[in-house]
Amino acid sequence: MDVYTILRSATGFESEAAEKAFVDKCRGKPSYNFCGDDTCLPEDEIKKELINHFNSCGEVLSVIVPKDPDDSPNLHRRAVVILLGDGAEEKALQLNGTDIGGWNALVKVEPEQEDEESSRYRSSLIDELMNDPKFWYGVSVRGYDTSLPVDQVESALKKHFSYCGEITHGFVNTLDKQTNIYFSLQEEEARALDLHGTKVGGFKLDISRVPSVLSNRPLGNGQIGLGYTVPAHMIEFAGKTDDDTDDEIEDKVIAFKKQRRFI
């Protein structure tokens, strides 16, 4: 009988709750029998065999025996072993082809797969942020005194652009030495563009329209035209979503949409 042992590696958890959430995410529906062509073993026994076989690779955090979709007991030849420890994954892969109590272990790494429903939900959150009217109209400002602290840049630009209309969001990018300022209405954006060449603290401003959903729309049907640029506010937000859960992304989307930094 062949046993396909699919590995997931973990690098540590901040709390017991985080560890439990990780295991529950991988678990699926458990099977109570692990069966071959002519024998069935209790789930506890197959888990014990796998723990004993892989404990030299690192801490065996969990062994999961998923239930097959058609619930056929003769197809239960797959288990997930979750290992914790430096180099645990590489050590376990070296056990590929070894004997586990009469079974031939075929070991491979299982890539993380996002649940389809979770993926759709995450996409809807990002789409909501992408098309938020708060970020439809804006300007990119360069040329000001970049040696000033961020709070002084914000204060100076807020004062300079306040007559244009309601500033809905502003972001000082210290790396690119530019500031993006967004407005509620198109005519407010036009007033801001008219300030091109004016001075703040003796520095001449270079002002252009910021890439937004309205100013550089895709062509449709998934096509992207020449010169298309990702909306600037999405680039600003992008670094906030790495390795986050859906709930964490939802919280960050809400917080990001509420930011009114120049107010």
pTM greater than the 0.85 cutoff: no
What is the reported pLDDT for 73? 42
Better pLDDT: 186 or 47: 186
What is the reported pLDDT for 164? 96
DSSP state of 162: G
Six-digit token pair at 60? 């065996």
Q: Would you say residue 162 has pLDDT above 60? A: yes
Q: Considering only 49-58, 59-68, 219-228, which range has the smallest mean pLDDT?
A: 219-228
- Give the separation between CA 18 and CA 22, rounded to whole angstroms: 6
Q: Which domains does the chain have, with CATH numbers?
A: 2-113 (3.30.70), 119-258 (3.30.70.330)
Better pLDDT: 216 or 22: 216
Better pLDDT: 241 or 163: 163
Q: Would you say residue 84 has pLDDT above 70? A: yes
What is the reported pLDDT for 76? 45
Q: Tokens 């859906």: give the residue.
A: 246
What is the reported pLDDT for 31? 36
